[in-house]
Chains A and B, each alone.
Chain A
Amino acid sequence: MTQLTMAKAINEGLRRAMADDPKVLVMGEDIGKLGGVFRITDGLLDQFGAQRVVDTPLAEAGIMGTAVGLAFRGYRPVVEIQFDGFVYPAFDQIVCQVAKLHYRTRGNVTMPITIRIPWAGGVGAAEHHSESPEAYFVHTSGLRVIAVSNPQDAYVMLRQAIASNDPVVFFEPKRLYHTKGEVDLDVDLADAPPMGLARVAREGSDVTLLTYGSQVMTALDAATAAEDDGVSIEVIDLRSISPVDYRTVTASVRKTGRVVVTHEAAREAGVGAELIASVTERCFNYLEAAPQRVTGHDIPYPPAKLEKHHLPDLDRILDAVDRVMDRPNSLTGVEL
């Protein structure tokens, strides 16, 4: 076990994946000499050379489309999108090509592409640098969507994503890049829990709090705060938002009978909507209260000085906990 930041854990994950498999290559803007704008690819160019650490032209569709061609040829490209808000020019190649080629070719062509996206807000960034586009990808069959929340998961699941024969959209919360945690670099990937299993990040008995990625820290803080109030919250870190590990989720909901979902992305047709619909289908008879969502507002991502009013924080989560516990809350007396 080593103490590593998430950034370093991902760097190490890339390094080892590249060392293990000559077909793995990384590509993106500024990822070579600079090591990426977050330095995630730091040192890879020196170690593996320009054929495997490809500084690309500034063209997201170009990066994604050429990754498709490389995958056709048997390579396993790991693509870095510089920031969440810049994935849209590549969207067509991701949803029409990357996601569908296996299906279209009846399994003859695989697209083992990992799409790394520094993701979400809370870092005071400029416009288009803090977005949460995950629902677009979750809605697209053929993609797997991962959102990590700690260095160990980031390391293990990145390596699993690269090893997967399916395309994986891999969200890395930039807010957590510099948080440290224990990482077992020599973990045996074959023995690690398969990518996609949810994790009970904290056990509890009154409310199930479902979340992923950047919000896991906030959710854990909320659970600690709720304890003082006598409410026991079980926090589930989904880790994979496509597919969702509903076994873990429903086991928890059947135990607690109450559900709150939190994510940074906007509410309408977001991942939270899907989670609540699915949980309701599966656990309706166990539910003691209407499930609640705590999300970003349905607005374009606001300017940095206002983002704290957009991002779900501890208090908004606790307010939703009060709702499912039927205690006085912000909606008491409000007719919606």
Chain B
Amino acid sequence: MTMTHTLTPTAEPATDTEDVARLLTPDGQRISDPDLERWVTDVDSSVLQSLYRDMVLVRRVDTEGVALQRQGQLGLWAPCQGQEGVQVGTARAFRADDFVFPSYREIGVNLVRGAKPADFVLAWRGEEHSTYNPYDINTATPQIIIGAQALHAVGYAMGIQRDGTDQASAAYFGDGATSQGDVNEAMIFASSFRSPVVFVCTNNQWAISEPVTVQAKFPIAGRAPGFGIPSMRVDGNDVLACLAAMRWALDNARNGIGPAFIEAVTYRMGPHTTSDDPTRYRDKEEVELWKGRDPIARVEALLRAEGAFSDEFAAQVAADADALGAEVRAAALGATSREPIGVLDHVYAEPHSGLEEQRAWFGAYLDGFGTDSEEAAR
């Protein structure tokens, strides 16, 4: 079993966030890691710039989402600030024809996969459960049931095996999700069938108000080898390490070796969702500590050191981010709700007599209002 990062029996997986593989220190120094570095030898300043740009865009979408919720335009928002490194780093390793099963917080993954501005807000606004066709960006609709998508990714990977292609699938879930039966069953299926799937566990230390220590008394990456799955515990605020680990994992999948598991150790800087109050359950000091590990500042520091962070570049990225933010806002503000009869659409793929009856009744009922208002207008 290769690539298992040292998992010295730690006392507290929550507090021992240092036992991770990384390529970039919190102050932006590029360091070497024997397992990771061979996967990112092609990453020069220009690739780093593009990783930086993606992370800034993600943060901008996130900021816009929070603002729109505060202004009453969205019902809810699940912020991802602090998690841009793991999302962009891992997602950039995919090929377009791989298939991704994200959770509700994977804004950056969906951005990299090609989601459009409306895709980030219309579901939270309550207009649609999903705005994009999953097959257009090879990404499933965000999953709310904790852990369910891990099995979907494995099933999809079993399909890939039967089709004999070298694609891979991946599931994203949180540390809380690793307590769910579905995630454990997913690892068993993946391992038993050697399916080409990557599990990305974003350990952001919290599952709403429950610290990771409620889910795990040992680093989560340490579980996967018990299922026969090689794992890596990486610094989730190090976009380079995340990219490298994901390339390793996808390579493992594509070459018929089977599943791999990545635990990205990071921190959710904001609330769980906009209805959450994290001051009730976590300390300011903890948040302050993680502020110093910001994934975007880290890349900026490296780029500066490499002389690749000009004012002009920074301004361009900021302008791109503002433009995207404006598009996201416009998508929310410009949303029009579907016709009422639309609530009955797409329940079944084929005609269903029970629903057809309800549609006929509801249609007639709605038409009744139409007639009334026409009469009132006369």
Find A72's partner among B129, B133, B140, B145 (CB 8 Å cutoff). Answer: B140
Confirm or deny: A246 has a beta carbon within 8 angstroms of a beta carbon on chain B: yes
For residue B78, CB closer than 8 A to chain A, the reply is no
Interchain CB contact under 8 A, B152 and A69: yes
Cα–Cα distance between A105 and B161 once the two chains are bound (Å)? 25
- One of B158, B162, B346, B355 near A66 (C-beta < 8 A): B158
With the chains together, A51 CA to B169 CA distance in Å? 18
B334 interface residue per 8 A CB criterion: no
- Count class of interface residues, chain B: 35 or more
Which positions 32-86 of chain A face chain B at CB distance < 8 Å?
Answer: 51-52, 54, 56-57, 59, 61-62, 64-75
Interface of chain A residues 85 through 116 with chain B (CB within 8 A): 89, 92-93, 96-97, 101-110, 112
- How many residues in A have their beta carbons less than 8 Å from beta carbons of B? 49
In the complex, per-residue mask of B184-198: 1 if CB is within 8 Å of any chain A CB, else 0: 011011001000000
Residue of A nearest to B155 (CB): A69
In Å, the complex CA distance between A72 and B154 comes to: 11
| Inter-subunit contact A103/B189 (CB<8 Å) | no
Check B151 against A68 for contact (C-beta < 8 Å). yes
A75 with B162: CB separation less than 8 A: yes
**Residue from the list A52, A65, A97, A102 in contact with B346, Cβ < 8 A:** A102
Q: Which residues of A contact B157 (CB under 8 A)?
A: 69
- Judge if A141 is at the interface, Cβ distance under 8 Å: yes
- Is there contact, CB below 8 Å, between A106 and B155? no
Q: Which residue of A lies closest to B338 (CB)?
A: A106
Chain A residues, CB < 8 A from B140:
72, 109
User: Could you say which residues of chain A place their CB within 8 Å of the CB of B348?
Assistant: 102, 142, 144, 166
Interface residue B371 (Cβ < 8 Å from any Cβ of A):
no
The segment out of A12-20, A123-131, A204-212, A237-245 that lies at the interface is A237-245
Docked complex Cα distance between A102 and B157 (Å)? 20
Question: Interface code A1-40, partner B: CB below 8 Å = 1, 0 otherwise?
Answer: 0000000000000000000000001000000000000000
B256 at the interface (CB under 8 A from A): no
Partner of B159, one of A59, A69, A166: A69
Q: Please provide the chain B residues from 150 to 175 with a CB less than 8 Å away from any CB of chain A in the complex.
A: 150-163, 169
Q: Looking at the complex, which one of A101, A105, A141, A246 makes contact with B133 (CB distance below 8 Å)?
A: A105
Asked whether B189 lies within 8 Å of A68 as measured between CB atoms, the reply is no
Considering only CB atoms, which chain B residue lies closest to A99 in the complex? Answer: B347
In the complex, are the beta carbons of B145 and A246 less than 8 A apart? no
In the complex, A190→B306 CA distance in Å? Answer: 69
Residue of A nearest to B162 (CB): A51
Q: Quick check: A72 and B354 within 8 Å, CB to CB?
A: no
A71 CB contacts on chain B under 8 angstroms: 155
**A329 in the interface (beta carbon within 8 A):** no
Task: Annotate B334-378 by CB proximity to A: 1 below 8 A, 0 otherwise.
Answer: 000000000001111110111101000000000000000000000
Q: Using Cβ atoms and an 8 Å threshold, which residues of chain B touch A107?
A: 345-346, 349
Determine which of B153, B192, B346 lies in contact with A106 in the assembled complex, contact meaning CB atoms within 8 Å.
Answer: B346
B133–A89 touching, CB < 8 Å: no
On whether the beta carbons of A142 and B347 are closer than 8 Å, the reply is yes
**Which A residues are closer than 8 A to B by beta carbons?**
25, 51-52, 54, 56-57, 59, 61-62, 64-75, 89, 92-93, 96-97, 101-110, 112, 141-142, 144, 164-166, 196, 242-246
* Cross-chain pairs A/B with CB under 8 angstroms, 12 sampled: A62-B182, A65-B186, A69-B154, A72-B155, A73-B156, A97-B148, A102-B347, A103-B129, A108-B135, A142-B347, A144-B348, A246-B353
* 10 additional contacts (CB under 8 A) given A59-B189, A89-B181, A102-B346: A57-B192, A62-B182, A69-B159, A72-B159, A73-B159, A105-B130, A106-B129, A164-B349, A164-B350, A246-B353
